[in-house]
């Protein structure tokens, strides 16, 4: 168990009875991390994969049920072709190298986002990873890829409209539950904690419906430097929050 390897005071700070069920992360700062070292941006993303592995391990060890990572947004296509291709290749590398380890850890991998627009070779690895881990019952690892929160809502609206047009649903019956059921994250609880590394203070089109009552936590640490203790600090901070969901 990872906690044994950590400082005793860190372990004592965490309340194991109040672990967030769903943590979502905006992994920002890879480019700046690389720039500071005079390296091409893709090296920052490569280093960011190491952090992904650490964070998955901690969440799995702490019995967090859902972890959602923002790996590629629909807006990221605007980046230079080299970087976009580099990110596609890193995804392939991560999945092909890690799927056995993830499977051993009982992690279930799910992709959320528009996968119709990404290269076949990525989709092939995604399909293999999802298939291999389909029956796992441990951590659910959502990888948001070619993801946009607004598109998630637009797609849900389209699906719901089709049902209204075909007479399966009445407009007056549309409610939060029906919208939830038509989002990429259907069947999953909303994130309890959304954290963003890299110092920026925004959600950048990530889980914008699902984040209605999420606790937000921002870190100045650049994603490749983010480590187990930073994640624990975020969880400890979350545990101090008084969540009222609009009540008193
Ligand atoms: C934002 O940093 C990060 C991304 C757009 C990509 C994140 C991708 C990874 C960590 C690797 C792939 C992940 C998986 C799960 C396979 P930025 O480039 O915007 O950094 P900057 O703000 O410093 O420029």
With 0-12 / 13-18 / 19 or more C-beta atoms within 10 angstroms meaning exposed / middle / buried, residue 140 is buried
- Tens digits of per-residue pLDDT, 81-140? 999 999 999 999 999 999 999 999 999 999 999 999 999 999 999 999 999 999 999 999
Element of type H or E holding 108: strand 108-112
Contact 144, 174 (CB under 8 A): no
- The two tokens of residue 203 are 């959600």
Share of the chain above pLDDT 70, in %: 95
Q: Reduce the DSSP state of residue 246 to 3 states and report it.
A: coil
Give 175-243 as a DSSP string.
-HHHHHHTSTTTTSPPPSEEEE-SS----TTSSTTTTTT-EEEE--S-GGG--HHHHHHHHHHHHHS--
The residue whose CA is least distant from atom 10 of ligand 1 is 48
pLDDT of residue 248: 78
Is there a binding annotation on residue 167?
no
- Tens digits of per-residue pLDDT, 124-182? 999 999 999 999 999 999 999 999 999 999 999 999 999 999 999 999 999 999 999 99
Is there a binding annotation on residue 123?
no
**Residue 1 confidence (pLDDT) above 50:** no
Domains and CATH numbers, the chain: 18-148+190-240 (3.40.1180.10)
pTM confidence score: 0.95
pLDDT of residue 69: 98
- Tens digits of per-residue pLDDT, 15-34? 999 999 999 999 999 999 99
- Mean pLDDT over each residue of the chain, to the nearest integer: 95
Band of residue 246 on the pLDDT scale cut at 50, 70, 90: confident
Band of residue 245 on the pLDDT scale cut at 50, 70, 90: confident
pLDDT of residue 23: 98
- The two tokens of residue 237 are 């901070």
User: Ligand 1 pocket by C-beta < 6 Å: which residues?
Assistant: 27-32, 45, 48-49, 52, 69, 71, 76, 90-91, 94, 143, 198, 223
pLDDT of residue 9: 52
Is there a binding annotation on residue 37?
no
Alpha-carbon dihedral sign for residues 163, 166, 171, 173: negative
Report long-range pairs for 40-44 (Cβ below 8 Å, ≥24 apart). Answer: 40/82, 41/83, 41/86, 42/82, 42/83, 42/86, 42/87, 42/90, 44/222, 44/223, 44/224
The residue whose CA is least distant from atom 15 of ligand 1 is 71
Band of residue 234 on the pLDDT scale cut at 50, 70, 90: very high
CA of 146 relative to ligand 1 center, distance in Å: 12
Substitution site in 24, 26, 31 for ligand 1 pocket (most atoms within 8 Å of beta carbon): 31
Band of residue 8 on the pLDDT scale cut at 50, 70, 90: very low
Write out the catalytic residue numbers.
Answer: 28, 76
pLDDT of residue 49: 98
With 0-12 / 13-18 / 19 or more C-beta atoms within 10 angstroms meaning exposed / middle / buried, residue 130 is middle
């Amino acid at each position: 168990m990872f906690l044994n390897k950590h400082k005793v005071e860190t372990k004592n700070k965490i309340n194991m009875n109040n672990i967030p069920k769903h943590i979502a992360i905006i992994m920002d700062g890879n480019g700046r991390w690389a720039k500071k070292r005079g390296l091409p941006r893709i090296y920052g993303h490569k280093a960011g994969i190491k952090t992904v592995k650490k964070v998955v391990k901690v969440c799995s060890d702490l019995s967090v049920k859902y972890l959602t990572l923002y790996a590629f947004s629909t807006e990221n296509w605007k980046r230079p072709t080299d970087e976009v291709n580099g990110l596609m290749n890193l995804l392939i590398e991560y999945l092909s190298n890690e799927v056995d380890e993830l499977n051993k850890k009982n992690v279930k991998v799910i992709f959320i986002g528009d996968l119709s627009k990404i290269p076949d070779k990525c989709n092939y690895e995604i399909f293999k990873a999802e298939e291999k881990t389909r029956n796992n019952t441990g951590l659910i690892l959502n990888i948001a890829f070619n993801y946009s929160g607004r598109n998630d809502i637009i797609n849900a609206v389209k699906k719901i409209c089709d049902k209204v047009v075909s007479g399966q649903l009445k407009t007056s019956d549309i409610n939060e539950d029906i919208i939830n059921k038509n989002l990429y994250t259907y069947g999953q609880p909303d994130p309890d904690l959304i954290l963003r590394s890299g110092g920026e203070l925004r959600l950048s089109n990530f889980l914008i419906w699902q984040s209605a009552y999420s606790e937000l936590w921002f870190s100045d640490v650049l994603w490749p430097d983010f480590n187990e203790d930073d994640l624990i600090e975020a969880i400890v901070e979350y545990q101090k929050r008084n969540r009222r969901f609009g009540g008193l």
